[in-house]
Amino acid sequence: MTTFWITLAMIRPLLPPVAQQWIDDLPPTYRQSTEYLLNLVGADNFIEHWLQHHADWIRFENDHGPL
């Protein structure tokens, strides 16, 4: 069975400009974990709820500091 890994670069054009900027500014560790989340929830869900995912990362960083 072949699995298909979705990258942030693949969905970036489907996101609004502010979300594209957020994706571009992600540090490597956040980018890796964000891609993992993207693959857990699926592209459609991630695109629809990107603002919530962004807020979750902001909250995590505020609680634990930057990685």
- Domains: count for the chain: 1
**Host domain of residue 53:** 27-67
Q: Tell me if 33 is assigned to some domain.
A: yes
Q: Tell me if 21 is assigned to some domain.
A: no
Task: Taking each helix axis as running N to C, give the angle between helix 17-25 and helix 50-64, from 0 to 180 degrees, rounded to the nearest 10.
Answer: 40
Q: Tell me if 5 is assigned to some domain.
A: no
| pLDDT the model gives residue 66 | 74
Q: Residue 4 — φ and ψ, nearest 5°? A: -110, 115
Taking the chain, what is the end-to-end CA distance rounded to the nearest angstrom? 34
Q: Tell me if 48 is assigned to some domain.
A: yes
Residue 13 DSSP one-character state: G
Retrieve residue 45's tokens. 């869900």
**What digits encode the pLDDT tens for the residues 16-62?**
999 999 999 998 888 999 999 999 999 999 999 999 989 998 898 88
Q: Tell me if 11 is assigned to some domain.
A: no
Q: Tell me if 10 is assigned to some domain.
A: no
**Closest to 22 in 3D by CA, of 61, 44, 41, 6:** 61
C-alpha 17/C-alpha 67 separation (Å) is 25
